[in-house]
Amino acid sequence: MNHDYSQFRVPEDTLIDLKKHSTNDDGGYKKKTAKIELKSNIKELKKIQRLFYADDRFSLLIVLQAPDTAGKDGAIRHVMSGINPQGCRVHNFKTPSKEELDHDYLWRHYKVLPERGMIEIFNRSHYENVLVTKVNPNLILNEQLPEIDSLDKIDEQFWKNRYEQINNFEKHLYQNGTHIIKFFLHLSKDEQKERLLSRLDNPNKNWKFNKADLEARAQWDEYQTAYEEMLSKTSREYAPWYVIPADKKYFARVAIGSIILEKLQSLDLRFPSGKSDEILAQARKQLLAEELSNTSVDL
């Protein structure tokens, strides 16, 4: 099924109102047809990732941000299921450690960026520094920044600077061969409630429940505003955001897989040039000489 996923891409310097973006789009798919499409995507991703790895000129950074229960883990597990683990890693950023807080906020992200030929997935990312901290600005004080010693000093200019720092960080990566795709999984509050109840009601899902999920849910409106500003300020041609409807997990997975595949297909990928005929002939001659030598010994 042909689908225009560019409609989910956030244009540069566009004010975003998430209320105008559907959370429930299914792209015309039923669950069964979505699974078939996803299976096809996985097959193609597996083939092109081998070429991407061998080409060894680019790297790919995939960023996933979303409210709790939006399906980030499931999307990673399903979409990337056919990828060779040697060429793909997933990193989940949790609360910064003391060591991490003693560095600038991008330091811990720099450490796990993908090398050439690799795909790195950030399940939560450097964007936590303009989301969780924007909703809970007291966390900024833990960074012990020069001249930021009280909440009243965390003003609009502070956030403007931070968005600019993130944009410059990503532009630097892009200019050095790292392509970046960023997905915001757009979940409705009602659907989140159903998924949280499912975690409580199903003993096999109890382990997924975290009290912090309810604390973040209580700040739903504040987070929606923070997401909107993040999307508006940091979607760039070299590092675009995609707002993916996430109420129907099967469609979100198809959309994410299709966009990743389209990105890889857009690159000028090629296997490295082979060795010269002379080198190959010499290697063949050497190997055949070993066979003759072994036969002589046996006689």
Q: Which pLDDT tens digit goes with each residue over 35-44?
A: 999 999 999 9
The confidence band for 213, taking pLDDT boundaries of 50, 70 and 90, is confident
At 165, is the secondary structure helix, strand, or coil? helix
The confidence band for 297, taking pLDDT boundaries of 50, 70 and 90, is low
pLDDT at 211: 86
Superfamily covering domain 5-298: P-loop containing nucleotide triphosphate hydrolases (3.40.50.300)
Lowest-pLDDT range of 25-39, 71-85, 164-178: 71-85
Strands laid side by side in the 88-92 sheet = 88-92, 119-123, 59-65, 178-186, 241-245
The confidence band for 278, taking pLDDT boundaries of 50, 70 and 90, is confident
Pairing outcome for strands 178-186 and 88-92: unpaired
Q: Give the separation between CA 119 and CA 85, rounded to whole angstroms.
A: 10
Share of the chain above pLDDT 70, in %: 96
pLDDT at 294: 64
One-letter amino acid of 182: K
The confidence band for 208, taking pLDDT boundaries of 50, 70 and 90, is confident
Residue 154 has pLDDT above 70, yes or no: yes
The confidence band for 4, taking pLDDT boundaries of 50, 70 and 90, is confident
pLDDT at 275: 66
DSSP 67-100: STTSSHHHHHHHHTTTS-GGGEEEEE--SPPHHH
pLDDT averaged over every residue in the chain: 93
